[in-house]
């Protein structure tokens, strides 16, 4: 191996690895069958070295990117030397890879001159992997109710799915064609990755490639060490509560401490609730992934992740903890507590680095799901997360109506697409006035999204963060918590934030309201012109301007100003 | 450059407005002889440079035809200087435009902000009305809600108004009623309807497209009215056309009404030039690269046709109109090189045109790609931009030298490294463009133009494993040249969402018939010769449940659905690497493209401009490391046609410099275009 690869070659190889991952992801998105992948981009792609360390990766869903390496290592452990070019290993086990069973990871080895030199990997959301309810379930109490569970399993040879495996997968899904279509899209992406990696290795040779890899890891690790060493040694703490586990009424505590100790950062989740009965447990790898995501977002947001990342970061999770799920804990909604966890870690890091502090966000995926069966459409499912408000920061207001941290590049489904596909009409999609946390830099507003059912169908809801909404920092106020109003045509009204699949009659109105982001700094210090602009743009009411910001607006003519 | 056109006959003229120069290309209608000139641009009123060029040309020739790439609409968007615009939406959806896609494109940014829209929420109004997914009226338009809009228009002096109601692509009656009501009260207002501008589903993308049209229409119309008026005085008989983003020309009177179609009016010329080269040189697949001092754009020609996109973005805002798929890939020569974590980073920061590279001597201090080229002798300080601009080589040496010290490298190695990283990044970005379309870049020929492109052409090609590069005639004014190769082209579309299995052929024929009538009306209004008009039909198809649709051409004659399905599977396989012949297919849009052929003579290069050749020291990268050697420099016109010259060699012409590295050779085609070939491939 060459130890002295010049900085130019290191940079060319680093760029080409990330570009390769981007192209793999483009291949996956282009050829996927399910809207949640091609429209929602609920997928991610990464390249790893022969030990499973990250070489390059592509943005998609950020919570996937911090732990695909775990799956590559599992595939290596399971098959080792037995892996051949064109083999595809898949897995979705919640305890091994951390997520729910819908998220399916694929791993393929990349060979060069007879040696396994790298791995291509993808993860994508499969819409239906069996389980007690179509699409998603809110009421599972064990993993066995959530669908087909796969440990690392070789499912294809020479990139062709083994026929008996295809039959098994098809038999376990309500949407078998989409499932196989999506799996083939993932395989296409990995095939592309192999081809491109071979080109890169052809050009540079294995020695230079490995030398550049080591240099790249070393540079990233050194950079992170310096960044952490520059912070004062101290311990910062934060905690909050999830509303409940989806079954009972008990709040569920999430507690975090962040300790800076020289060049190391220790994130400890001691004090966090034990496993819960409801489907809100999360396997350790996803917990680690979110710790990494929060760390990356504050410490080094402009840099890409590789095998040198996170070497300064240590995460401690108690044995019996809902963020360290053990069989048979239910994990369908694993991502929900992770939103609060991320906000808490960001809060701790903001105490350590006040210039990079950001107030908490609305913080949950806020899922609305409708399912039904009709003569015209057969079985249908539609499922989407909802945007909300983000936190203010020094010099900047939080953004309104933006998707939560764990859903990254997810775009809302246009009403015209939604209504063309399912018998549900969207009657409103708007900014939720006065939901933003007040502050010198205010939080962003949540949204109002209203659905009218046109046929009898089942609705499931999972809205969180009413006990711990997006909180303010340095004197800023909290954003509004989420709210739900369901009005049946017979006058029955519900306001539950979580709802297991429930049959609703045609004509029911489901009005969902997501929370706002927390404010930064004292609201009384906000410039009066900005308050006036917020009123004219509909983010806050005149009453809020007067009562919270102390700004009286006279007449309807407002200053013609640009937003901060 | 400023040569007199020798013929006193009639000429065809094109103009492309750049940041520094307005490029003019003049072609003799009879002999095809072509000359170029560069006029300093006049940013305060871009028409002035164009008119100056036309006046100069008209002194010796009669201008028959003039085609023009305008940047007025694009600049209005970039500078947020368009018309003060209001937006009217369906009640409940007034925030749709502000919410956008609600996605975060930078996944680690905690303070992410969305792209800035053109109309703030306070200028958005909503009206009670509703049409459902099948186009049925659920609630009719409440005209009284429009009175608030009228009142606001009078108070706020809006110049333009966009109307976008839900499902108007299915049934436009509400938008038309609202427009008629508003127009009756506000006759001065420029109104854009989403059902006219972009009859396609997805309310945010359609709203964004309609707003872009409303916002740019008044300035574009004002500009063209003035330009056409003044041209009438210089050359009364001239046909004035404007380049459309779809790669065709359109008469100026149409362009004023369809401002949205002029947004990429300038840069598409290069793609059209590429399409012409593809036929002339028999190279079906081209990757066309325009690299200026501070910009780098790429477009594709696939199977002889310039690649279009129906889902583009401008400033992060979606635009639903067929456009030549131009990818802004980076900053080109202006990309800044820095040390970070012990490695070299090049870009994405750019020195722009102000201060520009260090060697421009305008206050730049951080080394750029252009500075690295100066250090290595690949840009000759005495002959940059034909000597029009002076270059400070010492300053470039110092800036690159400082970076070299930081990273522990020699000066030349550093300069080579900056260029290598920049070239590899540009190559990566270009590869992504092809991969996202499911195409292998190795089957392409690279066409490189723009002031800085031909210096990097061979290196970028090698990174992409492309063996052949074309440096066209007039590489410094290629976009303007390309405009002269275009025909008049109009695109029409209508939404039709239906599984093919249950598609009623009468509905299909009716849809195309409606588009054909729309086309005929426009052709008549423009006074085009109907004998030269051809129509081509397309269907946007996809597997049911998928989002991305593929635009598939239909043969003439009655539509045979079975053949359409087979063709779709093949196109899908081409793009995605697999297809699913058992899966049901659905149509989403019908499209009609109307082309009116314009007579064009063969291109003939005009007389040579200089006859210089000399040897000069250049740092050449070879198999065993780089060294300074005396390299042959020659004026382009001294290359004998069909003779092969080996690299390293530097070929100079007034608007650019081509670097032929070690391991490459170069020959000139009889048409005057130049081929570079990788001898090692």
Query: How do residues B206-234 score in pLDDT, each as one tens digit?
Result: 999 999 999 999 999 999 999 999 999 99
pLDDT at B4: 38
pLDDT at B348: 80
Q: Give B394's contacts (C-beta < 8 A, 6+ positions apart).
A: none
Distance CA A428, CA A417 (A): 15
Tokens of B191: 């109104």
Residues A113 and A348: beta-carbon distance below 8 Å: no
Our CA dihedral for A68, A74, A75, A78, rounded to 10 degrees, sits at -170
Of chain B, the percentage scoring pLDDT greater than 90 comes to 52
- Examine residue A463 and say whether the peptide bond preceding it is cis (omega within 30 degrees of 0): no
Most confident range, picked from A17-26, A46-55, B437-446: A46-55
pLDDT band at residue A3 using 50, 70 and 90 as cut-offs: low
- Mean of the per-residue pLDDT values for chain A? 92
Run of H or E including B155: helix B143-156
Any A CB within 8 A of B614 CB: no
Q: Pick from A8, A26, A412: which is nearest to B420 by CB?
A: A8
Q: Give A560's contacts (C-beta < 8 A, 6+ positions apart).
A: none
Which residue's structure tokens are 């009218």?
Answer: A452
Our CA dihedral for B621, B623, B629, B634, rounded to 10 degrees, sits at -70
pLDDT at B651 over 70: yes
Instruction: Specify the DSSP class assigned to residue A429.
Output: E
pLDDT at B343: 82
The mean per-residue pLDDT over the stretch A408-418 comes to: 87
pLDDT at B385 over 70: no
Which residue's structure tokens are 């070879």?
Answer: B622
pLDDT at A563 over 60: no
Of chain B, the percentage scoring pLDDT greater than 70 comes to 94
Distance CA B86, CA B76 (A): 16
Which residue's structure tokens are 């002096």?
Answer: B157
Distance CA A490, CA B17 (A): 65
The mean per-residue pLDDT over the stretch A138-165 comes to: 95
Distance CA A515, CA B79 (A): 34
Residues B459 and B661: beta-carbon distance below 8 Å: yes
Which residue's structure tokens are 């040496």?
Answer: B397
**For the ranges A450-454, B35-39, B182-186, B268-272, which has the lowest average pLDDT?**
B35-39
Nearest CA in chain A to B169: A416
- Total CB pairs under 8 A between chain A and B: 205
ipTM of predicted complex: 0.89
Any A CB within 8 A of B108 CB: yes
The mean per-residue pLDDT over the stretch B375-396 comes to: 80
Q: Is B122 in Cβ contact with A431 (below 8 Å)?
A: no
Higher per-residue confidence, A558 vs B377: B377
The mean per-residue pLDDT over the stretch A268-279 comes to: 96
The mean per-residue pLDDT over the stretch A4-29 comes to: 89
Which phi and psi angles does B497 have, rounded to 5°?
-105, 110
| Residue to substitute from B120, B547, B581, B588, interface A, most A β-carbons within 10 A | B547
pLDDT at B205 over 90: yes
Any A CB within 8 A of B610 CB: no
Of chain A, the percentage scoring pLDDT greater than 70 comes to 96
pLDDT at A77: 96
Distance CA A458, CA A456 (A): 7
Handedness of CA A101, A103, A104, A107 (dihedral sign): negative
Q: Does residue B537 sit in helix, strand or coil?
A: strand
| Residue to substitute from A12, A174, A196, A431, interface B, most B β-carbons within 10 A | A12
Which phi and psi angles does B143 have, rounded to 5°?
-60, -30
Q: Is A178 in Cβ contact with B545 (below 8 Å)?
A: yes
pLDDT at B463: 86
Please give the order of strands across the beta sheet that includes B533-543.
B550-553, B533-543, B585-596, B488-499, B249-251, B239-243, B62-69, B10-17, B21-28, B33-40, B604-605
**For the ranges A390-394, B60-64, B105-109, B587-591, which has the lowest average pLDDT?**
B105-109
**For the ranges A149-163, A168-182, B236-250, B289-303, which has the lowest average pLDDT?**
B289-303
- Mean of the per-residue pLDDT values for chain B? 88
pLDDT at B14: 95
- b/e map of B474-484 (b: 16 or more CB within 10 Å)? bbbbbbbbbbb
pLDDT at B509: 93
Which phi and psi angles does A496 have, rounded to 5°?
-70, 135
Q: Pick from B107, B109, B202: which is nearest to A414 by CB?
A: B202
The mean per-residue pLDDT over the stretch A189-205 comes to: 93
Tokens of A138: 């809110």
pLDDT at B623: 58
Q: Is B103 in Cβ contact with A403 (below 8 Å)?
A: yes
DSSP B201-246: S-HHHHHHHHHHHHHHHHHHHHHHHHHHHHHHHH-TTPEEEEE-TT
pLDDT digits (tens, 9 = 90+) for A87-107: 999 999 999 999 999 999 999
pLDDT at B530: 85
Residues A194 and A23: beta-carbon distance below 8 Å: no
Residues forming a β-bridge with A259 = A235, A266
pLDDT at B159 over 80: yes
Q: Give A116's contacts (C-beta < 8 A, 6+ positions apart).
A: A50, A83, A109, A110
- For strands B645-646 and B21-28, give the pairing: unpaired
pLDDT at B387: 63
pLDDT at A139: 84
Residues B204 and B192: beta-carbon distance below 8 Å: no
Q: Residue A90 CA to chain centroid, in angstroms?
A: 20
pLDDT at B664 over 90: yes
Residues B159 and B83: beta-carbon distance below 8 Å: yes
Give the Cβ contact number of residue A353 at 10 Å.
15
pLDDT at B183 over 90: yes
Q: Chain A: nearest CA to B252, how far in angstroms?
A: 34
pLDDT at B7: 43
Higher per-residue confidence, B606 vs A152: A152
Our CA dihedral for B251, B253, B255, B258, rounded to 10 degrees, sits at -130
Residues B268 and B261: beta-carbon distance below 8 Å: no
Q: Is A30 in Cβ contact with B575 (below 8 Å)?
A: yes
Higher per-residue confidence, A224 vs B330: A224
Our CA dihedral for B383, B387, B390, B392, rounded to 10 degrees, sits at 0
Q: What share of chain A is helix, strand, coil (3-state, %, to 5)?
A: 30, 25, 45
Which phi and psi angles does A539 have, rounded to 5°?
-80, -35
Run of H or E including B533: strand B533-543
Which residue's structure tokens are 């980076």?
Answer: B330
Task: Tally the C-alpha atoms within 13 A of residue B307's C-alpha that lie toward its C-beta.
Answer: 25
Tokens of A125: 């959301």
pLDDT at B2: 37
Instruction: Specify the DSSP class assigned to residue A246.
Output: S
Q: Residue A177 CA to chain centroid, in angstroms?
A: 26
DSSP A124-184: EE-S----SSSS--S---SGGGS-----SEEEEETTEE-HHHHHHHHHT-SSHHHHHHHHH
**Chain A residues within an 8 Å CB radius of B417:** 6-8
Phi-psi region of A388 (alpha: psi -120 to 50; beta: other; left: phi over 0): beta
Tokens of A543: 């009453």
Distance CA B638, CA A460 (A): 76
pLDDT band at residue B380 using 50, 70 and 90 as cut-offs: confident
Which residue's structure tokens are 């933003």?
Answer: A436
Which residue's structure tokens are 């006029």?
Answer: B39
Which residue's structure tokens are 């127009």?
Answer: B183
Q: Does residue B55 sit in helix, strand or coil?
A: helix
Any alpha helices (H) in B236-320, and if so which ranges? 252-257, 268-280
The mean per-residue pLDDT over the stretch B399-411 comes to: 94
pLDDT at B5: 39
**Chain B residues within an 8 Å CB radius of A346:** 110
- Examine residue B113 and say whether the peptide bond preceding it is cis (omega within 30 degrees of 0): no
pLDDT band at residue B128 using 50, 70 and 90 as cut-offs: very high
Write down the pTM of the prediction: 0.88
Nearest CA in chain B to A39: B547
Handedness of CA A541, A546, A551, A554 (dihedral sign): positive
pLDDT at B3: 37
Distance CA B380, CA B360 (A): 13
The mean per-residue pLDDT over the stretch A117-123 comes to: 96
pLDDT at A541 over 70: yes
Any A CB within 8 A of B440 CB: no
The mean per-residue pLDDT over the stretch B432-441 comes to: 78
pLDDT band at residue A527 using 50, 70 and 90 as cut-offs: very high
Any alpha helices (H) in B36-95, and if so which ranges? 47-58, 72-78
pLDDT band at residue A39 using 50, 70 and 90 as cut-offs: low
Which of A20, A85, A505, A12 minimizes the C-alpha distance to B418? A12
Residues A270 and A302: beta-carbon distance below 8 Å: no
pLDDT at A274: 97
pLDDT band at residue B578 using 50, 70 and 90 as cut-offs: low
């Amino acid at each position: 191996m060459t130890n002295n690869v010049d900085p130019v070659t290191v940079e060319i190889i680093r760029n080409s690895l990330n570009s390769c991952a981007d192209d793999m992801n483009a291949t996956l998105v282009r050829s996927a069958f399910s809207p949640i992948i091609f429209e929602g981009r609920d997928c991610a792609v990464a390249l790893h070295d022969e030990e499973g360390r990250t070489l390059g990766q592509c943005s998609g869903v950020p919570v996937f990117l911090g732990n695909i390496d775990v799956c590559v290592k599992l595939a290596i452990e399971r098959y080792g030397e037995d892996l051949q070019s064109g083999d595809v290993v898949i897995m979705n086990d919640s305890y091994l890879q951390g997520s729910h069973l819908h998220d399916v990871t694929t791993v393929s080895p990349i060979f060069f001159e007879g040696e396994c030199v790298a791995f291509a990997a993808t993860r994508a959301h499969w819409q239906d992997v069996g389980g007690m309810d179509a699409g998603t379930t809110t009421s599972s109490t064990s993993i066995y109710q959530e669908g087909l569970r796969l440990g690392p399993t070789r499912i294809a040879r020479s990139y062709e799915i083994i026929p008996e495996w295809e039959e098994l997968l098809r038999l376990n899904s309500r949407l078998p064609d989409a499932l196989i279509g999506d799996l083939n899209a993932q395989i296409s992406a990995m095939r592309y990755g192999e081809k491109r990696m071979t080109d890169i290795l052809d050009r540079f040779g294995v020695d230079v490639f490995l030398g550049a890899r080591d240099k790249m890891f070393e540079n990233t690790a050194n950079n992170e060490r310096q960044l952490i060493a520059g912070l004062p040694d101290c311990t910062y703490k934060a905690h909050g509560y999830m509303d409940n586990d989806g079954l009972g009424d008990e709040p569920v505590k999430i507690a975090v401490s962040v300790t800076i100790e020289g060049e190391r950062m220790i994130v400890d989740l001691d004090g966090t609730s034990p496993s819960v009965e409801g489907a809100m447990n999360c396997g350790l790898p996803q917990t680690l992934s979110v710790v990494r995501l929060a760390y990356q977002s504050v410490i080094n947001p402009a840099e890409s992740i590789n095998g040198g990342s996170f070497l300064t970061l240590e995460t401690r999770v108690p044995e019996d903890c809902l963020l360290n799920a053990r069989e048979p804990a239910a994990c369908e909604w694993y991502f929900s507590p992770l939103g609060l966890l991320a906000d808490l870690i960001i809060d701790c890091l903001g105490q350590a680095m006040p210039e990079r502090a950001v107030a908490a966000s609305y913080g949950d995926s806020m899922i609305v799901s409708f399912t039904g069966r009709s003569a015209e459409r057969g079985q249908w499912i539609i499922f989407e997360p909802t945007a909300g408000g983000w936190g203010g920061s020094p010099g900047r207001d939080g953004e309104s109506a933006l998707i939560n941290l764990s859903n990254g590049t997810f775009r809302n489904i246009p009403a015209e697409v939604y209504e063309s596909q399912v018998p549900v009409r969207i009657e409103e999609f708007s900014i939720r006035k006065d939901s933003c946390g007040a502050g010198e830099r205010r939080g962003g507003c949540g949204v109002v999204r209203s659905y009218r059912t046109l046929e009898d169908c089942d609705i499931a809801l999972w809205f969180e963060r009413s006990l711990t909404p997006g909180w303010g920092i340095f004197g800023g106020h909290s954003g509004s918590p989420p709210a739900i109003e369901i009005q049946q045509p017979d006058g029955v009204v519900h306001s539950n934030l979580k709802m297991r699949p429930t049959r609703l009659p045609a004509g029911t109105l489901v009005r969902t309201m997501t929370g706002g982001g927390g404010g930064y700094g004292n609201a009384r210090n906000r410039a009066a012109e900005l308050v006036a602009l917020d009123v004219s743009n509909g983010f806050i009411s005149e009453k809020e301007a007067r009562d919270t910001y102390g700004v009286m607006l006279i007449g309807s003519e407002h200053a013609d100003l640009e937003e901060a | 450059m400023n040569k007199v056109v020798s013929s006193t006959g009639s000429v065809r003229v094109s103009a492309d407005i750049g940041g520094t120069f307005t490029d003019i290309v003049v072609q003799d209608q009879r002999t095809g002889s072509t000359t170029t000139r560069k006029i300093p641009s006049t940013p305060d009123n871009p028409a002035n440079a164009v008119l100056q060029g036309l006046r100069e040309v008209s002194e010796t020739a009669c201008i028959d035809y003039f085609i023009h790439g305008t940047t007025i609409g694009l600049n209005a968007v970039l500078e947020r200087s368009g018309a003060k615009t209001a937006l009217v939406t369906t009640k409940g959806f007034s925030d749709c435009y502000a919410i956008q896609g609600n996605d975060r494109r930078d996944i680690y940014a905690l303070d992410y902000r969305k792209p800035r829209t053109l109309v703030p929420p306070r200028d958005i109004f909503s009206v009670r009305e509703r049409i459902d997914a099948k186009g049925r009226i659920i609630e009719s338009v409440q005209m009284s809600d429009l009175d608030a809009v009228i009142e606001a228009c009078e108070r706020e002096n809006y110049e333009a108004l966009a109307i976008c109601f839900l499902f108007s692509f299915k049934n436009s009656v509400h938008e038309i009623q609202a427009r008629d009501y508003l127009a009756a009260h506000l006759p001065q207002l420029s109104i854009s309807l989403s059902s006219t501008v972009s009859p396609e589903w997805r309310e945010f993308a359609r709203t964004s497209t309609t707003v872009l049209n409303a916002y740019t229409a008044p300035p574009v119309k004002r500009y063209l009215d003035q330009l056409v008026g003044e041209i009438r005085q210089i050359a009364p008989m001239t046909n004035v056309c404007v380049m459309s983003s779809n790669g065709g020309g359109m008469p100026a009177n149409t362009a004023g009404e369809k401002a949205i179609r002029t947004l990429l009016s300038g840069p598409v010329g290069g793609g059209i030039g590429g399409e012409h080269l593809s036929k002339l040189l028999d190279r079906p697949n081209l990757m066309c690269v325009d690299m200026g001092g501070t910009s780098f754009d790429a477009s594709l020609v696939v199977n002889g046709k310039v690649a279009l996109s129906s889902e583009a973005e401008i400033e992060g805002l979606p635009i639903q109109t067929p456009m030549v798929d131009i990818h802004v890939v980076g900053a080109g020569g202006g990309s800044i090189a820095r040390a970070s974590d012990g490695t070299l980073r090049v870009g994405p920061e750019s020195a722009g045109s102000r201060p520009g590279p260090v060697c421009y001597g305008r206050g730049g201090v951080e080394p750029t790609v252009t500075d690295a080229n100066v250090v290595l002798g690949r840009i000759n300080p005495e002959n940059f931009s034909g000597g029009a601009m002076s270059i400070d080589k010492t300053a470039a040496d110092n800036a690159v030298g400082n970076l070299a010290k930081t990273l522990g490298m020699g000066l030349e190695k550093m300069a080579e490294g900056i260029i290598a990283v920049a070239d590899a990044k540009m190559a990566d970005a270009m590869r992504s463009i092809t991969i996202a379309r499911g195409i292998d870049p190795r089957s392409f020929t690279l066409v490189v133009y723009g002031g800085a492109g031909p210096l990097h052409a061979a290196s970028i090609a090698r990174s992409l494993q492309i063996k052949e590069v074309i440096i066209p005639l007039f590489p410094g004014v290629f976009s303007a040249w390309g405009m002269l190769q275009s025909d008049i082209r109009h695109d029409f579309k209508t939404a039709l969402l239906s599984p093919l299995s249950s598609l009623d052929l009468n509905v299909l024929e009716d849809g195309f018939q409606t588009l054909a009538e729309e086309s005929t009306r426009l052709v008549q209004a423009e006074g085009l010769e109907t004998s030269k008009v051809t129509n081509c039909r397309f269907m946007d198809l996809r597997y049911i449940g998928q989002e991305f649709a593929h635009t598939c051409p239909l043969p003439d004659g009655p539509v045979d659905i079975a053949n359409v399905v087979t063709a779709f599977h093949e196109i899908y396989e081409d793009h995605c690497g697999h297809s699913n012949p058992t899966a049901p297919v659905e149509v989403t849009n019908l499209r009609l493209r109307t082309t009116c052929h314009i007579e064009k003579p063969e291109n003939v290069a005009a007389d040579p401009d200089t006859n210089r050749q000399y040897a000069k020291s250049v740092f050449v990268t070879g198999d065993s490391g780089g060294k300074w050697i005396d390299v042959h420099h020659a004026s382009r016109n001294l290359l004998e046609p069909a003779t092969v010259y080996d690299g390293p060699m530097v070929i100079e012409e007034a608007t650019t410099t081509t670097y032929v590295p070690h391991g490459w050779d170069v020959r000139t085609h009889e048409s005057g275009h130049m081929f570079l070939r990788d001898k090692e491939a």
